[in-house]
Structure 1
Amino acid sequence: MRTPFNRSVTLIDTGGKVGFKRPKWQQGPKIYQASRLSINYLKSIGISKIDTICISHQDSDHCGDLPAFIKEMQIKRILIPMGMQENPNFIKRLAGKSPKTLLLPVNDESRIADLPLTVYHPYLPGKGENHDSEVLGGRLGGLNWLFTGDLDRSGELETLQRHPGLKTDVIKVGHHGSRTASDPSFISHICPQIALISAGRNNRYHHPNIETLETLRKAGVKILNTQQMGMVRYIYQNNTGHFESILECHKGKNR
């Protein structure tokens, strides 16, 4: 998320490969996808400094490439779910962090200056597992946005209990569209118009789940899925904007 002239740049999660145990002889040098993809893209649009990186939870597909950002970008602060600062597996990812980069554990009572987002979850300290995921919401470009990490259904409903007025226009669908998230009661309560689903093609987990897609369709939510659209971005000026697919843009140029 960036405001005009890059006055504020906020990144939610870094991406990264899911790690599977392999014998040492199969392990090569650590290669971060972010170096050639997201970091390369950010630099191409003039971003070399990030004000805030919000890490939703400990899973490697959400924060595995954090070391690459620490090495290649200037970072003012890193927000994590409260309690994850005690997780040794996560702390390893902070190796090389500049002393000037603040590490801030947060819960839903935290108020972070100059952050264009509100923290709605967690409310209890945890290890940074799925059910500890940060839930973040904010308003940009005339739309309300909600990001839920890999929060499970029970966590979604608990969030509503603590924040009963929570509504959104756009939801980044929890857990890549897994059936463990997107409880029908949660979706009907927050009333999204658009759902963003981030999931790789032919992924081994078969995300997004058919049940989740059906929940969204029954609620009349428009689905934007990276499997079909590639990278999706929202370009705005003042209080209006539009979504576009980078894949569709390239197709249009080649016609």
Structure 2
Amino acid sequence: VKNIMSLISEAVLITLAAQILTLPLLIAYFEQLSLISLLANALVLPAQPGVMTWGGLATLVGLISPALAQPFAWVAWLLLAYTTTLVRALATVPYAAVPIQLSLGAVLLIYALIGLLTWFAKQEASWRGHTLEQLRKNLTQRAALTSSVAFLALTTAWGSSQPDGQLHVAFLNVGQGDAIFIQTPTGRQVLVDGGFYPSVLNDQLGRQMPFWDRAIDLVVATHPDADHVSGLVGVFERYRVERLLTDGSGVGESPIYDEVLLAAEGDKTAVFPVHAGEIIHIDDGVDLHILHPGDQRDAESRNENSVSVRLVYGQFSLLLTGDAEGKAEQAMLRSGLPLQSLVFKAGHHGSRTSSSADFLAAVQPQIVIISAGTGNSFGHPHPETLQRLAAIGATVLRTDELGTIEFISDGVGYRIQAYR
């Protein structure tokens, strides 16, 4: 028994050491910290030698006789099934991972500290004892220094996350879907749609918001399609949302939309259907002009009822139309409301039935964003749409090619950055 416990303890220590050494790199790359990885590894680790042993035997025996190899393969499969089932179950635990960002400098500092501690631990016991005794004599000074360093680190982290006085609009890379995150110059936050996957959206929001921020001022659900609202379920579970704007759809429009409304109710979020002509004041000088839907709702297509908004901040303007197609675009043209915008997110992911020539002529965009998934099965964006955009001389930027696309504006000029 002692030998078994010794082997288990050694395995756990080796795993723990490996996790500690790779943790800074994992956080820097994935921008999240797993709070459940130690438990997961402790439960999964005992099965892995069996997977390798039985899997290796199955491979070797299979070279001679596939039939004889099957019993070995079945044992390996059972161990793998245990592993994958456990991992999937642990992945559903709330707050199993928290978003966090580390700069290159922070990663280097952490590894320097690990190296220093390792070097210190390997010194002679007498030398360590003498050093520790010297440190004890300066406990007060050490405590004061440690507190000062911790305060400086926290202050720096907090300061770097504060609003920079500019408007930020990020077209998030959520695959085949829409999700646009907006932060005003004073830090007010708006999310328009949420894409299809809650985990993907949470990851993207974690890159835009500091890990301690758990509030979003306004969420806009343009219409009940899953590729626009599925991700919002996770938003209401993770963040406190003040207001939700909708196209007026109610319970029963779609199962996933029902979940969104239920989550909003549980979060005590105020829900408001919007109407063309309304203006939502987001912040000083930052307004959302509602262009659609109007009085008439389309009973045949949810896309045609998509909430369409024009964001205005000084000389910077942005038009978002959800999945609006021909009928909705014609309704906006007839409304007489201002449509001209510097930036336009192509309707319905660049489909052929959206972004008509007449509508583009009215919007006159200089830059068009297309939010679509890489190699999607819908053929978005459609070649005809790309031809229409080329005909007006617009610059086309695509999330499937560039990843997240962010505009930063002071209300006069703007700059663009893209990242994955």
Give the TM-score normalised by the residue count of structure 2: 0.52
Change (3 A) 1:238 1:148: closer
Residue of structure 1 equivalent to 2:102: none
2:300 paired with 1:132: no
Q: Percent identity, aligned pairs only? A: 27
Deviation for aligned residue 1:109: 3.6
Give the whole-Å Cα distance in 1 for the aligned partners of 2:214 and 2:331: 37
Matched position secondary structure for 1:92: helix
Deviation for aligned residue 1:221: 0.5
Give the whole-Å Cα distance in 2 for the aligned partners of 1:148 and 1:16: 18
1:190-233, Cα deviation, whole Å (9 max, x unpaired): 11110001111100111100000000000110101112211100
Q: 8 Å contact 2:224–2:254 — kept in the other structure?
A: no
Residue of structure 2 equivalent to 1:4: 185
Q: Which structure has the greater CA radius of gyration?
A: 2
Matched position secondary structure for 2:401: helix
User: In structure 2, which of residues 190, 201, 204 is the aligned counterpart of residue 34 of structure 1?
Assistant: 201
1:49-85, Cα deviation, whole Å (9 max, x unpaired): 2111011101111001111000101110000012445
| 1:59-98 equivalence runs, <5 A | 59-84=225-250, 87=253, 89=255, 90-97=257-264, 98=266
Give the whole-Å Cα distance in 2 for the aligned partners of 1:114 and 1:171: 19
Residue of structure 2 equivalent to 1:22: none
User: In structure 2, which of residues 180, 191, 216 is the aligned counterpart of residue 50 of structure 1?
Assistant: 216
Deviation for aligned residue 1:154: 2.2
Higher mean C-alpha deviation, range 162-171 or range 85-94: 85-94
Give the whole-Å Cα distance in 1 for the aligned partners of 2:189 and 2:389: 30
2:293 paired with 1:122: yes
Matched position secondary structure for 2:322: coil
Give the whole-Å Cα distance in 1 for the aligned partners of 2:383 and 2:192: 26
Q: 8 Å contact 1:42–1:48 — kept in the other structure?
A: no
More strand by share: 1
Matched position secondary structure for 2:209: helix
| 1:201-216 equivalence runs, <5 A | 201-216=374-389
Give the whole-Å Cα distance in 2 for the aligned partners of 1:102 and 1:130: 24
Q: 8 Å contact 1:16–1:32 — kept in the other structure?
A: no
More helix by share: 2
Matched position secondary structure for 1:188: helix
Q: Which amino acid aligns with 1:95?
A: L
Structure 2 residue ranges without an equivalent (≥5): 1-181
Give the whole-Å Cα distance in 2 for the aligned partners of 1:178 and 1:163: 25
Give the whole-Å Cα distance in 2 for the aligned partners of 1:192 and 1:145: 9
| 1:141-220 equivalence runs, <5 A | 142-163=315-336, 165-220=338-393
Higher mean C-alpha deviation, range 119-128 or range 235-244: 119-128
Q: 8 Å contact 1:126–1:132 — kept in the other structure?
A: yes
Deviation for aligned residue 1:86: 6.1
Q: 8 Å contact 1:39–1:69 — kept in the other structure?
A: no
Residue of structure 1 equivalent to 2:159: none
Q: Which amino acid aligns with 1:144?
A: S
Structure 1 residue ranges without an equivalent (≥5): 18-30, 248-255
Q: 8 Å contact 2:196–2:228 — kept in the other structure?
A: yes
Q: Which amino acid aligns with 1:69?
A: V
